[in-house]
Structures are given as C-alpha cells and as structure tokens.
Structure 1
Amino acid sequence: MTRSNKKAIVAPQNTDLNKGDQCLNVNAVRFLERRGYEASVLEVAAGPEHARRQKHQTQHVLDLLQNPMRHPARSGRTDGRGAVLRQAVYGFMDMIVYGASAFGPKYISRFLHPKFVRRLEETDVVFSKGGGFFHSANGLRGFYYLFFVSYIFLLARKYDCETAFLPNSFGPFTSRWDKFLAKRVLKECKVVYTREEISHDYLNSMGIKNTLAPDLAFLTPPREPESCNGKIGVTVRPWRGVGRETYERYLQEIANLIHNRPDHTFVLVAQSFGPSEHEDDRIAIHEILERLKDCSNVETIQEELYFEDMLEIYGQFNFMVATRFHSALFAYASGVPAITIAYSGFKAQGIMKDLNMEDFSLEMRNLQPGKLIQLFDRMVAQRNTQSKKVRKGYGKLHALFEEIEL
C-alpha cells in the first residue's frame, strides 16, 4: 500500500479535563504533523457523558478514536458505596479478557476490536503522548493501571505496528510484575524518549535504551512577557497518594503561606477538573478556602479554560506556587518563575533539575513546616534573576525539538 503521509495513533488517551494533559496531546499531534504524520488520538472510553467531557474542547482540533480498552470508570461513580467493588469486578474481568487479547492468539483481539484492528493494520506507529503516566503503585490496582496504559502498545506490536514513546517520565515500577510489563512494552519500542535525567537513569538501570528530550509542553514557543499584575498564582490538587495526614499538612502549608503574607494577593487556579474527585482541583481549593475564611488576599479562577488561555493567565503573574507541574511550565513560557511541589513520580524534580531550578522544588511527602514560606521569601527577593534563568532555560529546551528524530 502506498500512502502520501505516514499514519500515527497517539495513546493512551485524550483528556480535556486536565489542561496539562490537554497540552501534551495537542502538542504531540502538532509535533508529529511537522514530521509528516497524520495523527489521531485515543479518547477515554467510559460511557457517552464521560467521553463528552473528555473531548468537549479538543474534538474541534484533534481526530479522536475510541480507545479499544474501556476505562474502569465505566462502572459508574468512582466515589461512594460500592464503587470500589464495582471497579474491582470490572478490573478482574478486564485482566482476563484483555490479557488474553494482548498475549494470546490474534483471533481474540480481532473478535474484541474488529474496527480498531483494521485501523492498526493501516497505522505505521503508535506513539505515546508525553507526560508522566507510565508508572505503577503498590498492589493489584497499581498493576491494573499499568496494564490499562500499556494495552494499546501491546496490541500494536501484535499487528507489527511500530511503537514509540514521546518524552515521558517513567517509574517507579513497584513490583516484579510491574517491571516485567514495563520492560515488555518499552524494549519493543523503536525509540523511547525520557523528559528528564532521573527517568533517563532509572530506565538505564532497567536495561532500557532511551534518549533525553524536553517535555512536550516546551514545544509551545516562548511568549513575550504579559503585563504583570503583581499577583501570585497557585495551583493545588487533591491527592490521596500520600495519606490523609500528609495531605492535610500540605493544605495547611498553602493556607499558612497565604495567611502570613497579607501584602501579596494569591490566586488559586483550578487546572484539572476530573473526571474523578481525585483529579478535581476545585476540591483542594475549597479545602484551602475553608482555612482562610478571614483572609482578603486570596482570589480564585475555577472556570474551565483551554490550555492556551491558561498560558496567558499564568503569564500575568509575578510568579507561581505550582503543584500541577504543567502550570509551572505554562508560566515558564512567559518567563514567570515558579516554586513547585512534587506529589508523584520523577517529573517535577527531574525537570526542575534540568532547568537549574531544583532549589525551588519541594515534595508534598516531605513538606516541612515553614519551608514553603522560606522559599516564597527567597523567590520574592530573587524574582528577576530567576525569571531570566527560566526564560533562558525554556528557550534552550524549545530549540531542542528540531533535533528529535523519529
């Protein structure tokens, strides 16, 4: 078969609800189109309403395909009574059925996904989107998640479709089975790009060849500085991965910063809106506001916007305190520096190190009382110096995309 353009699929899924992921999907398609690919993106498949929310903005700019493996959220609500049991039942069934499809004879996957298999047979490469999705957590739930994001790559190789990972953070993989599955997926890729040195070294230790490249957010061209409004942007998130006590301490440290620096105006910005409560930043914003009932120096932006609109908003701040790491990268595009609070994986620490900003990176798990205020005061004093450093580093990483080969 002769085609003018190469065909590509971007996996594992599209989401409009997290603006960092939205940026990575859109930029992945833009990057591949510049390399001569016609690229489609998998959408989340968890029922009509769930799918509608995930694509209500990018459906106008992306060609979306239904994901062959249905998302476990199809069981209904992810909170409340019975939700865990329902998801466990679906997860167990998925591991049997989709496991047989991924590792068994071809006729199983042809039976389960006849249309998608035909699409795979016309596709040259399945690319991962960028991000930090390829990791696992303890227990069966962690393994199921890793299998869910791996399934499309396993299926692609079954039909001799090449696979590749655009710049990602990887790991940790917490069990022997997690590492087995990760190696199975990654060692069959034609190329694996890591977006920071911690992941680069981690994959090297597993014997997986990989190449460093910038996070796909850096594909967005550097922007002229916006007119600074003098305010401090803050992104927060609900996060159960560190335990309730640690999470409460994190919320309190954010509240203490706002309360103890009344001469500054802070703007709490929601960057992710679901699909579960665990990913809805408005919940964390509400929990912080409950601690700040007498404070007049705090504002909020909780409207759901397109990621390019978020770039403009963040570019107007004096600087950021960012738990959502891509809010920091969006700010960096305009030379706005940020203090980051890492909550999972290697992405924040690794990229901040690459930007020579690791001194302004904290970890939610180890957030010591008063440390955030200490870094805040330091950023106030060094804002202009850090802005120049960020602008220089961002421009350098943006230029590296010309050197990436596929």
Structure 2
Amino acid sequence: MKAIIVPGVTDLNKGDQALVWESHRLVKDTKLFKDIYILNSGDTEEEKRLLCQQSIDHGYQMIENILEHPRRGQHKTDEHIQESKFELAKQVKNAGLDFLSTKFLLSICNNLPSVKKLFSAKVYQTVKEFSEADVIFVKGGGFIHAYGEKTAPYLMWYFLFYVRLAQKLNKKVVFFPNSFGPFEGVTVKSQVRSVFNKLDLTYARENVSAESLGALLDKKIPVEMDLGFFLQKGSQKEADKILIKYNLSKDDKIVGITIRPWRFPGLSNPEELYQKYITSVAALVKHITDNGFKVALCNQSLGPNTHEDDRNAIQDLLKIVNNANVIWINENLACDVLKAVYSNFYFYVGTRFHSIIFSLTSLVPSIAIGYGGNKAKGIMDDFNLDKYVIQIQDVNSKQLIELFDDAIENYDGIKSSLSNAMRLVDESRNRMISDIKGLYS
C-alpha cells in the first residue's frame, strides 16, 4: 500500500522536522505500507533546498506541494514581529486567488483528465499521487487553532486543504496527535467540524486539546503523545563535536534556552509585549549565570520566514546581554543531533515547544514559555509539570526567576518523575500502530 504524509516538511524548524520524520517511522513500523511519501515545501528553489534537503539526505521520498504560501517565498528580514500593511495586502490577494483555484481543484479532482487539462503538470502529478494513495497521514503538530484574526478563515482552509483533497478522493485520513484550539474566527468552527467529522482516526496530544476539539465535535477524542517524544537521539559523537566547537562540556552545568519572534496574535500591543519577553529572558539569563551556570542559546527553528527564525530573537537578546558565559550555538543541526546536544544540558528554558520535548525525553528538567494555543500548557500539565509553564504574553522577569529557582530546588524530584514517565512513550506509540492496523482488520 501507499501512504502520504502532509503537510510539507520544514527542515529549518527542528520540531516540525521531527514530527515528519517520526510520522514516517511510525507509519513504516505498521508494516502495512510499501511506499511512504512526504510532501515537500518551499515556493522557490532556494526555499525548497533549505526546507527539504536534510530530509532528502536522510532518504525520504518527496512529492510536490501544490498550495503555495501567500508570501510566495518572499520574506522581509525586518518584519519578524509585525508585518507591514503592504505585505499583508499582497498576501491577502494571493490567498484569495489560491482559495478560488484550490476550491475549483477540489471540485474536479476525481476527474484526472480534467485536472491534467486545466492545471499545471505539477498539480496533476500530485493529485494523481493522492488518487493512488491508500491513506493520508497528517503529521503531528499544533496548527489547528485561530484567535479571531481577519486571516483566520483562509488559515483554516490552507492548513486543511490536503485533508479536504484526500476526503474528496475517498481516502482514509489519520490525524496524528495535535494541539487543537482555540477556534475563534469566521467559519473556523464550521471548517473544523466539516473536516474532522469525516476523519478515520484523530488524536490530540494533550487533554486540554482533546476537550477543546471534543466539545466542538461532540465526541471523545483520544489523547496520545506528541510524536516528538518518539524521536531517537542522534549521534553523541556529532553532539560532542558541537560542544567542543563552542568550548562547552557537560561539567559546565549548561542551561539551554530557546526564544523566538512572536507577533502576539489577537493582542493590540505586540511590539511592547515582545520587548517585555526579551528583557525578561535577559534578566533570567543574568540570574542563571550569576549562580554559576553557563547558558547555551539554541537555534530550534531557522525559518522558513523571519517570524519563525529564532536567530532574530537571539540577536535581539544579545543586544542587551553581554556575558562570556552565554554561548550561542549558531548551527543548523538535524533534529536528532540537536536532541543529542540537549541531552548534555543540565536544565532547559524553552519557548520552542519541541525544544522542551527534546529535553524532557532526555531527562533534562525544563521550564516552558507557552505560545500558540494549548500545546505547552497541555503537555506540561500531562507530565504534572504545569507549575513550570508561563504564557509568553504573561512573561515577567520575577516569575521566570522564581520558576527557575523552584525547579532547581526540586531538581532530583523532577528528574525522577521524567524517568518514570518515559514508559508511557512506548505505550502510546504502540497504541497508535495498533489503531492504524485496525483500519484493515
């Protein structure tokens, strides 16, 4: 049989990369599928290289993405917190045209000769691949949420397009563990209902998301682990090379940190909130180094756009932090090697969600700065670590420092709890494999 994993891989975002790679490994371990394809991403040749090359180098087979991002691969380097009205207007125009085009495509997708006649060879080939597939798997993640922004209706259409295509072609669809909600905005709830009520398997990755989606659909949603928990650690030899390159060792008691640009959707003062976030982290960094630790700033995501490029936030932080014990590990590492690096850290303070997951599964106690829906709060709550979460819009230096000090004081207990929880990881993965096999029993 044949499987396709959607949406497209994003090698620059190491959490997303891990979700796609682990989706592939889980599907492969069902032993049901001879051919497993991953959707590529990128709207220019350079962007495709950046977003897909590590996955290609690891041997994954790709098929072409046919729904471009409204940005069309154009990224303004100075707009990582707030985009200009001109750029937004261009994106709105592109989104409108894409909506009409993809809506028409869905209406004729079962007629391949018509698709071939009316659309490009690339679109035809991808629709043909979908028509020949048996199951479409939606990678794990946290992209089914909206805050009532004006772009919310198209965002939902964009993120659910490939599921709609699969359903129009009468394919089975499995939605791997995701965070769900909030569902604010025009048509958002109705779009989610129309798609999710027809899925073959749906998983939430934390209880709060299961409750959110379950309330919308009026059904019980099973909860399973985020696929990032299943990522196997990469080469320790490669990790050691990185530590040596940056003059670090495990004996340094390294505190890893991820920060990111964030636009605070739905709030009226994004630039003010972003500055408060950066200055609060700077105060925490000073507190950490004053207490004898070293700080390693890490690139968990390097794109594809400036808003998803952690290096922009790190540069903003380093404008106000000047300390020899603060080291920027400025690398583009594959997700498994990055996890191996994190496993050498003593503690972690993560804004990037999967930097926390990579750390927790390496038994590294962590604090999470939550953003973008329910994911951080939900996962930490499910591990009984909910006291160590603060939402990005609520961040302040006093609370960050208090959380860090509390976690260090309870370090051994947290580490023991993490160790005990790891058995749940294999159990969750095995349940999903069994469920997928059950579709054919």
Contact 1:220 1:398 in 2 (8 A): no
From 302, 315, 320, the equivalent of 1:273 is: 302
Could you give the per-residue CA deviations for residues 209-258 of structure 1, whole angstroms, max 9, x where no partner exists?
A: 42111110122358999955411000110101251111111111110011
**Superimposed CA distance per residue, residues 114-156 of structure 1 (whole angstroms, 9 cap, x where no aligned partner):** 2222211210111100010122243342222221111111111
Change (3 A) 1:105 1:140: farther
Tell me by how many angstroms 1:376 deviates: 0.7
**2:5 alignment partner, SS class:** strand
| Deviations 1:184-220 (CA, angstroms, capped at 9, x unpaired) | 1111110101110011000111125421111101223
Give the partner amino acid of 1:235.
T
Q: Which one-letter code corresponds to 1:68 in the other structure?
A: I
Per the alignment, residue 245 of structure 2 pairs with: none
Query: How far did residue 360 of structure 1 move?
Result: 0.8
The one of 314, 320, 325 aligned to 1:285: 314
Change (3 A) 1:68 1:384: same
Give deviations 1:160-202, integer Å, cap 9, x for gaps: 1111101111121112401111111111110101110011000
- CA pair 403-224 structure 1, distance change in 2 beyond 3 A: farther
More displaced, 71-80 or 157-166?
71-80
Matched with 2:192 is 182
Find the residue that maps to 2:214 and give its secondary structure: helix
Give the superposition deviation at 1:369: 4.0
Equivalence for 2:338: 310
Q: Superposed, which structure 2 residues align to 1:221-232 within 5 Å?
A: 221=232, 227=250, 229-232=252-255
The worse-fitting range, judged by mean Cα deviation, of 205-214 and 251-260 is 205-214
Cα distance change of structure 1 residues 247 and 166 upon mapping to structure 2, 3 Å threshold:
same
Query: 2:22 corresponds to which residue?
Result: 27
Q: Which of 318, 323, 326 is equivalent to 1:298? A: 326
Q: Which moved more, 1:197-206 or 1:60-69?
A: 60-69
Structure 1 match to 2:264: 241
**How far did 1:51 drift?**
1.0
For residue 11 of structure 2, the aligned residue among 10, 16, 24 is 16
Deviating more after overlay: 214-223 vs 39-48 = 214-223
Shift in alpha-carbon separation, 1:13–1:75, aligned structure 2, 3 A: closer
From 68, 71, 76, the equivalent of 1:70 is: 68
Using the alignment, how far apart are the partners of 1:240 and 1:207 within structure 2? 29
* Runs of 5+ consecutive residues of structure 1 not aligned to the other structure: 1-5
Contact 1:125 1:163 in 2 (8 A): yes
Question: Does structure 2 conserve the Cα–Cα contact (< 8 Å) formed by 1:75 and 1:87?
Answer: no
Asked if structure 2 preserves the Cα contact closer than 8 Å seen for 1:102 and 1:109, the reply is no
Amino acid of the structure 2 residue aligned with 1:72: P
* Residues 9, 127 of structure 1: 8 Å contact kept: yes
Q: Does 1:128 align with 2:141?
A: no
Give the number of equivalent residue pairs.
Answer: 400
Please give the alpha-carbon distance, in whole angstroms, between the structure 2 residues aligned to 1:109 and 1:174: 34
1:2-401 equivalent positions in 2, closer than 5 A: 6-35=1-30, 36-37=32-33, 38-61=35-58, 62-74=60-72, 76-78=74-76, 82-103=86-107, 106-107=110-111, 111-112=118-119, 113-207=123-217, 209=219, 210-221=221-232, 227=250, 229-241=252-264, 243-261=270-288, 262=290, 263-293=292-322, 295-401=323-429
CA apart distance, 1:83: 2.8
Shift of 1:79: 5.6
Over aligned residues, Cα RMSD in angstroms? 2.1
Q: Could you tell me whether the CA contact under 8 Å between 2:233 and 2:337 is conserved in 1?
A: no
C-alpha displacement of 1:322? 0.5
The structure-2 alpha-carbon separation of the partners of 1:296 and 1:105, relative to structure 1 and needing over 3 Å to count, comes to closer
* Higher relative contact order (Cα pairs below 8 Å, separated by 6+ residues): 2
Q: What is the one-letter code of the residue matched to 1:182?
A: V
Q: Is the 8 A contact 1:228 1:317 kept in 2?
A: no
Structure 1 position 332, deviation (Å):
1.6
2:343 & 2:260 partners in 1: Cα distance? 20
| TM-score normalised over the length of structure 2 | 0.86
User: Matched residues in 1 for 2:135 and 2:165: separation?
Assistant: 12
Which piece of structure 1 moves more, 88-97 or 256-265?
Answer: 256-265
Secondary structure of the residue aligned to 1:268 is strand
Work out the CA distance in 2 between the residues paired with 1:285 and 1:324.
13
User: Which secondary structure state, in structure 2, belongs to the residue aligned with residue 211 of structure 1?
Assistant: coil
The one-letter code of the counterpart of 1:20 is G
Report if the CA contact (8 A) 1:75-1:90 is conserved: no
State, as a whole percentage, how many aligned pairs show the same letter: 29
Distance in 2, Cα, partners of 1:320 & 1:109: 50
- Cα shift readout 1:9-45 (whole Å, capped 9, x = no counterpart): 1111101000000000000000000112232111114
Change (3 A) 1:77 1:367: closer
Q: d(CA) in 2 for partners of 1:238 and 1:246? A: 11
Mapped contact 2:153–2:186 kept (Cα < 8 A):
no
Cα 1:223–1:58 change in 2 (3 A) is closer
Distance 2:409 2:343 in 1: 19
Deviations 1:370-390 (A, max 9, x none): 000001111121112111111
Alpha-carbon displacement from aligned partner over 1:302-343 (angstroms, at most 9, x marks no partner): 111011111111111111000011111111222111000001
